[in-house]
Amino acid sequence: MLNENFIILGALLSFYGGLSYLIDTVKGKTKPNRVTWFLWALAPMIAFAAQLEKGVGLTALMTFMAGFNPTMIVLASFINKKAYWKLNKMDYVYGSISVFAIIIWQVTGEGNLAILFSIIADAFASLPTIIKSYKEPETENSTIFLFGMINSGLTLLTIKDWSFAQWGFPVYIFTICIIIYSLVRFRLGIKINSSKQL
């Protein structure tokens, strides 16, 4: 088990990854979907607040960074003319799940339910970026997902109390970052599609 201070190192690395994506967004190298990134900002912040309410402590810093970086990217996306804000039916569903998480949390006072619904909302919000990373990996930057994976991995290695409030969001972030990082960095979608054509 690592010292809890490694969470701070993970947060700094995550910030570096976010900064990399932010710079690519401003330069127009990446094309973030604002709906996805907005929901990626909202869901972790709900989970972060719920973790604080559950007394999680420093482990919650990872969840905060999972929401902070997307917030900065959404703001930067308004500088990038290639970024897009495309609402479809599923975006309303994802947003509704996030709102539902807040309502459930406030009505029941149970932070674990807010964390669970935040994970569900974030996972659904990830689908457009997963699909885009599969089809058009060149429109994404793998660095933010690599450092998100490192941040969540370091956080998991510091956990002493394995309650859902402690491990739920870090496990989810670790998993989703592995998926998107692999799709973008190794261009798996392109490789799979080219092998099908042979």
Angle at 196 between CA 195 and CA 198, to 5 degrees: 65
pLDDT tens for 71-104 read 999 999 998 877 777 677 877 777 787 777 778 7
Using an 8 Å Cβ cutoff, are 62 and 170 in contact? yes
Q: What is the pLDDT of residues 102-138, one digit of tens each?
A: 787 778 888 898 899 889 888 888 888 898 899 999 9
d(CA 172, CA 152): 9
pLDDT in tens, 140-186: 999 999 999 999 999 999 999 999 999 999 999 999 999 999 999 99
Domain range annotation of the chain: 6-190
This prediction has a pTM of: 0.89
DSSP letter assigned to residue 3: -
